[in-house]
Homo-oligomer: A and B are copies of this chain.
């Protein structure tokens, strides 16, 4: 049996842990051969491979990134993409494929499986917004990094009477903001699922100063003001190059708060620091177990499935479950946390 492995989408701590577990168990327990595909779906599409065996996975458990590289290539957007993948797999003698990735990568995996390719999926997103699983690996690392940043900002906020805004990842779902905000003791947490009212935010800021404390706000990159929220600076105007990235929501919020309240406000934009580097123990444990169970699924011929954490167990669920709707922040869990906000 020869198994191909690929990683797609953005970086996520734990990718290498999955690859290592797949290869270690595949070789030593099932006697499989492996082919590493480079750069996500680009690998099987263009037949770009790399050696993958015990020596290649040695020492990679604690390392960020992915030894296989990644990309956002979608073979369904390429002429004859599927045929080329099938031809390449056949030529390389690859019997099964383990695809490690997020919504897009697993979406491709789902369609390929429907078209007869033997695929097993491993879900990956630091945003934790996949429905089928309690948690995704990478999320715990991201939350800890954001929390440590908030920890560091607390004393500055207090001693120097400043408003501090921490922008964290989360384009569609506010899980990182909610968990990091809760764990870091933030005073305001703004998430994409719940458009914010800038006046209300500024009122909270002012009230906190009246109590002689300085506020820390955590905001998901995808947070937006309520309609008609009159937040001049988040209107999304483009710069000379058509980018709207210059000054993300963190910067804009800080400016707006400063302008409206007269309090000094500063933004911290953690960006890719949240997605890189060594994974936490939880993420290494989860990623490793996903890898062990994915190669078991290959061994059982249980294709079209992906791994999911349910409680402390790893289960297999249909790939389609991981690539349907996003898992947004549960309003009840947000409400529960609101006792700490404001």
Which residues in A have some Cβ–Cβ distance to B below 8 Å?
7, 10-11, 15, 24-25, 28-29, 59, 61-71, 134-135, 140, 143-145, 147-149, 151-156, 158-162, 164, 179-180, 182-185, 232-233, 239-241, 243, 245-247, 251-252, 254-255, 258-259, 266-273, 275-278, 280-282, 284-285, 288-289, 292, 310-312, 336, 339-340
> B147, A281: Cβ atoms under 8 Å?
yes
Q: How long is the Cα–Cα vector from A155 to B275 in the complex, in angstroms?
A: 10
A201 shortest CB reach to chain B, Å: 17
Would you call B273 and A271 a contact (CB within 8 A)? no
**Bound form: Cα–Cα A158–B267 in Å:** 27
A162–B70 Cα distance when bound, in Å, is 11
**Complex Cα–Cα for A284 and B268 (A):** 22
Our pick among B135, B185, B310, B336 for the contact of A62 (Cβ within 8 Å) is B185
So how many copies of this chain end up in the complex? 4
Q: Taking A25-B339, A232-B240, A255-B245 as contacts, is the C-beta distance between A144 and B64 under 8 angstroms? A: no
Collect the chain B residues with CB atoms within 8 Å of residue A270's CB: 268, 270
A243 CB contacts on chain B under 8 angstroms:
255, 258-259
Complex CA–CA separation, A101 to B243 (angstroms): 40
Closest to A340 in B: B24
Contacts of A155 in B (CB 8 A): 11, 63-66, 276-277
Question: Chain B residues with Cβ under 8 A from A24's Cβ?
Answer: 339-340
Which residue of chain B lies nearest to A310 when distances are taken between CB atoms in the complex?
B311
16 A-B pairs with C-beta separation under 8 A = A10-B160, A11-B156, A67-B159, A68-B159, A143-B282, A145-B152, A148-B277, A179-B285, A233-B246, A239-B247, A241-B255, A241-B259, A246-B246, A268-B270, A289-B336, A311-B311
